[in-house]
Amino acid sequence: MNRSPVLCRMGILLLLIIGLCVCPAHALQAVEYHVAKTGSDANPGTQSQPFATISAAAAAAQPGDVITVHEGVYRERINPPRGGSSAEKPIVYQAAKGETVCVRGSEVVTGWKKVGNDTWKVTLPDTFFGQFNPFKQLITGDWFSPKGRVHHLGAVYLNGHWLTEAATLDEVLAPAGESPLWYTPAPTAASDLLNVAWFQPQKASDRVPADGFSAQQGTKTMVCGEGGQSIGWIDDGDWVRYDNVDCGAGSEQIEFRASSQTGGGTIEVRLDKPDGPLLGACAVEDTGNQQRWKTFTAKIQPTEGRKTICLVFRSGRKDAAPVEVQDGATTIWAQFKGVDPNQGNVEINVREAVFYPEKTGVNFITVRGLTLEHAAPNWAPPTAEQVGLIGTHWSKGWIIEQNTIRYSICTGVSLGKYGDDWDNRAQSAEGYVGTINRGLANGWSKENIGRHVVRNNHISHCEQAGIVGSLGPIFCTITDNTIHDIHVRRLFGGAEMAGIKFHGAIDTLISRNHIYRCCRGIWLDWMAQGTHVTRNLLHDNGPSEDLFVEVNHGPFLVDNNVMLSGIGILVNSQGGAYAHNLVAGEIRVIHTERRMTPHQKPHSTEMAGLLPNPSGDDRYYNNIFLNAGLPAYDKATLPVFMAGNVFLKGAKPCNHESDPLVWPEFDPGVELVEQGGAVDLRMAVDPSWQDVRRQLVTTEMLGKASGPDLPYEQPDGSPYRIDTDYFGEKRSASNPAPGPFRLTSEKEIRRRVWPQDQR
């Protein structure tokens, strides 16, 4: 039967109307969920019937929704199951206006028993920790140096501030001095560590395949060299098994490339299992640290055919710390000077992170106004998944703003990479190139990753980095943050510590941050291309420098910064432009660098090739230097370009600058005065510095970075024109004054340098 077209159209219209009527509320408007300590997760999450946990609200929230958290301390790991759909429709996590919200990765511990002096102990069942017991896990990873002892992820807090981990139980039992702690279980020898970086049978054809590995106590695997294999730090009695090894006739020797930090020891070669027949052994001396490899040879008793062998490390030291190991429990000793911990507020870490998605690609999340603290993430090298107290985990479009982020065993904010089977297996330049290539295969691009905003946060008390990121910090904006007390305890070491430590900060802006009392201020390592570091205040950082640029090819721009630490800039890169900075400390240049490192196509993550890293091809215009200056560039391999700089208080120019202004006796008496969180700068100047003609720094003036053959331009391709100063105020375009501040007829500058006018 034929139906009337009019009736058919009416039926379709009716279906559309019905469909609109049954659409969920999210299709019409966003929802605001509420969380309060008085709530219940059985509630609908309204203001009158709030959820009890932030995690319950996260499970309910959809793109465009807002989660408002009310006053109180929340002890949970927020693992957002989804993000927003766009920058216009994020999922927002925020503190209620005017209310203090704290999210902690710790739990309160009571039941302490006094054992003498000011020392107390408590024993906790494993059920207290759930799936994550940080006191049973060691800090470990690529480029991590334990400095001859073990370090755990767990920490004890008294009234919110952490105690220092002790190396031995005796330190905690002794009369109170500092406040260290010791906990068990722990390795048999707490301070004897060996890194076996490469095991290789005598015959090159017999190298062990990378999948022939097993080990105890959480040691890590990594590939080191073609067909080679290495493992992480191991302790006394630890062992590694290698299968299918030819130990027959003609293989009377096995070579090891090893490094030991604490007295060395012996590597035993055993058949089949760790306590199997001894085939041979070799002594390993103390080589100083994990970067000083040395080859050792063990003579072995040949066996017929291919066998399984175990390498067992035996420490040369005899002063192992006493431990108390209980099945299913952890005992913690802690020293509380003059405090009964059962009456005070004592907490311990029980969660790896506070706000971190387990899965990747959770995009467009805003976290605003929260206090996030007490987390136990592991070491975050560029070759591994970088978990932070809060982290974006290989996603895009997050906004992390107006938060207090503090007390992370390693890293505070992570804009890091994903994890895979190659984590902590690539401790070399070649290995990291492999990490980059795998990142590209896993969607490393402007369309999928980065574009995060981290602004107006207070970040402190992190023992690796305040903000870290490998591949993840591309196209990001890092502004108006206060970052301090980063890696100040220095119980361990490595190559990843700084207020801000980025690998791959492509087209990233780092601006108007206050960074102080950090081991190092800003560290831009690999692929700082299109990076802009401007209007930052850095001081009291050390023992390293305010800024370290490592194996980058540029172009990157550093302008209008105030750098007042003892070492200003360490340069192991090319293609940098430094303009209108005030640098009080030494400038160091590394002239010998063998690594080949990548550069990218313009405003892209796509690799354009690998380049060597000779010194030079840097530009210095219109800066003010105190104390040291630029003579480190006298031996630069590539040309350097310098003009308009002022050298005061003994600072010296480079011999490549034709007409520098050198006043060796002039001491500007730079002084920072802090009052109520604000910082004022006082500095003597001379108006006559403006009598020297200087050129405005622009994209055209800077030319191109020679390695990648690219101009100094903004992320959108528009040109730079450095015609504003540290405060964002206009400077003379026809004759700009040197340094980060405009000059007038006055002979002294007195300005508030923090916080800045956030215009």
Domain regions of the chain by residue span: 28-98, 106-186+321-349, 193-315
Residue type, 657: E
Token pair belonging to 641: 């370009």
* pLDDT range class, residue 327, cuts 50, 70, 90: low
pLDDT of residue 185: 39
Q: Once rounded to an integer, what is the mean pLDDT over residues 235-241?
A: 62
Q: Tell me: the pLDDT tens digits for 699-714?
A: 999 999 999 999 999 9
Among residues of the chain, what percentage have pLDDT more than 70?
80
- Give the dihedral of Cα atoms 119, 120, 126, 132; nearest 10 deg: -50
| Mean of the per-residue pLDDT values of the chain | 84
Sign of the C-alpha dihedral, residues 742, 584, 534, 607?
Answer: positive
- Rounded-to-integer distance, Cα 121 and Cα 112, Å: 5
- Mention every residue, 6+ apart, whose C-beta is less than 8 A from residue 355: 77, 78, 80, 93, 103, 367, 370, 372, 389, 390, 391
* pLDDT range class, residue 259, cuts 50, 70, 90: low
Residue type, 207: R
pLDDT of residue 7 exceeding 90: no
pLDDT of residue 331: 86
Question: Could you tell me whether strands 547-550 and 522-525 are parallel, antiparallel, or unpaired per DSSP bridges?
Answer: parallel
* pLDDT range class, residue 524, cuts 50, 70, 90: very high
pLDDT of residue 469 exceeding 70: yes
pLDDT of residue 314 exceeding 70: no
**CATH class of residue range 106-186+321-349:** mainly beta
Among residues of the chain, what percentage have pLDDT more than 90?
62
What's CA 25's distance to the chain center, in Å? 40
Q: Once rounded to an integer, what is the mean pLDDT over residues 23-27?
A: 47
Q: Tell me: the pLDDT tens digits for 159-169?
A: 999 988 887 77
Q: Once rounded to an integer, what is the mean pLDDT over residues 486-498?
A: 91
The residue length of the chain stands at: 759
pLDDT of residue 374 exceeding 90: yes
Picking from 364, 371, 350, the residue whose alpha carbon sits closest to that of residue 69 is 371
Q: Once rounded to an integer, what is the mean pLDDT over residues 501-515?
A: 98
Inter-residue contact 600 to 444 (CB < 8 Å): no
Inter-residue contact 280 to 300 (CB < 8 Å): yes
User: Phi, psi (5° rounding) for residue 690?
Assistant: -75, -10
- Rounded-to-integer distance, Cα 301 and Cα 692, Å: 78
Q: Tell me: the pLDDT tens digits for 721-738?
A: 999 999 999 999 999 999
Picking from 212, 205, 311, 306, the residue whose alpha carbon sits closest to that of residue 265 is 311
Q: Poorest-confidence range of 68-82, 189-203, 344-358? A: 189-203
Sign of the C-alpha dihedral, residues 395, 401, 407, 412?
Answer: positive
Does residue 668 have a cis peptide bond before it, meaning omega lies within 30 degrees of 0? no
If one compares 249 and 266, the residue with the highest pLDDT of the two is: 266
pLDDT of residue 269: 79
pLDDT of residue 598 exceeding 60: yes
Containing H/E element for 518? strand 514-518
Q: Poorest-confidence range of 1-15, 410-424, 605-619? A: 1-15
Q: What is the DSSP letter of 3?
A: P
Token pair belonging to 409: 């065993």
pLDDT of residue 86 exceeding 60: yes
pLDDT of residue 214 exceeding 80: no
Task: Characterise 182 by phi-psi region: left (phi > 0), alpha (psi -120 to 50), beta (else).
Answer: beta
Residue type, 168: T
Q: Once rounded to an integer, what is the mean pLDDT over residues 446-455?
A: 98
pLDDT of residue 224: 27
pLDDT of residue 394: 97
pLDDT of residue 5: 38
Q: Once rounded to an integer, what is the mean pLDDT over residues 120-126?
A: 87
Q: Tell me: the pLDDT tens digits for 428-447?
A: 788 899 999 999 999 999 99
pLDDT of residue 507 exceeding 70: yes
Q: What is the dotted CATH code of the domain comprising 193-315?
A: 2.60.120.260
pLDDT of residue 4: 42
pLDDT of residue 291 exceeding 70: no
Inter-residue contact 532 to 577 (CB < 8 Å): no
pLDDT of residue 448: 97
Inter-residue contact 622 to 641 (CB < 8 Å): no
Q: Which residues of 277-296 are buried (b: 16+ CB within 10 A; e: fewer)?
A: eebbbbebebbeebeeeeeb
Q: Once rounded to an integer, what is the mean pLDDT over residues 513-541?
A: 97
Q: Once rounded to an integer, what is the mean pLDDT over residues 86-92?
A: 97
Which ranges in 225-360 belong to alpha helices (H)? none
pLDDT of residue 329 exceeding 80: yes
pLDDT of residue 226 exceeding 60: no
- Rounded-to-integer distance, Cα 534 and Cα 549, Å: 14
pLDDT of residue 522 exceeding 70: yes
Question: Could you tell me whether strands 477-479 and 453-455 are parallel, antiparallel, or unpaired per DSSP bridges?
Answer: parallel
- Mention every residue, 6+ apart, whose C-beta is less than 8 A from residue 200: 207, 228, 254, 255, 257
> Strand pairing partners for 752?
680
pLDDT of residue 418: 95
- Rounded-to-integer distance, Cα 478 and Cα 545, Å: 19
Q: Once rounded to an integer, what is the mean pLDDT over residues 628-648?
A: 97
**3-state SS of 349-383?**
ECCCCCECCCCCCCCCEEEECCEEEEECCCCCCCC
- Rounded-to-integer distance, Cα 217 and Cα 237, Å: 10
- Rounded-to-integer distance, Cα 156 and Cα 166, Å: 11
Token pair belonging to 307: 């066998």
Inter-residue contact 184 to 143 (CB < 8 Å): no
Containing H/E element for 173? helix 169-173
Picking from 360, 421, 422, the residue whose alpha carbon sits closest to that of residue 391 is 360
* pLDDT range class, residue 400, cuts 50, 70, 90: very high
Inter-residue contact 531 to 510 (CB < 8 Å): yes
- Rounded-to-integer distance, Cα 709 and Cα 599, Å: 10
Sign of the C-alpha dihedral, residues 211, 216, 217, 219?
Answer: negative
Q: Once rounded to an integer, what is the mean pLDDT over residues 451-464?
A: 98
pLDDT of residue 608 exceeding 80: yes
pLDDT of residue 427: 67
Q: Where are the beta strands (DSSP E) in 119-163?
A: 119-125, 144-145, 156-158, 161-162
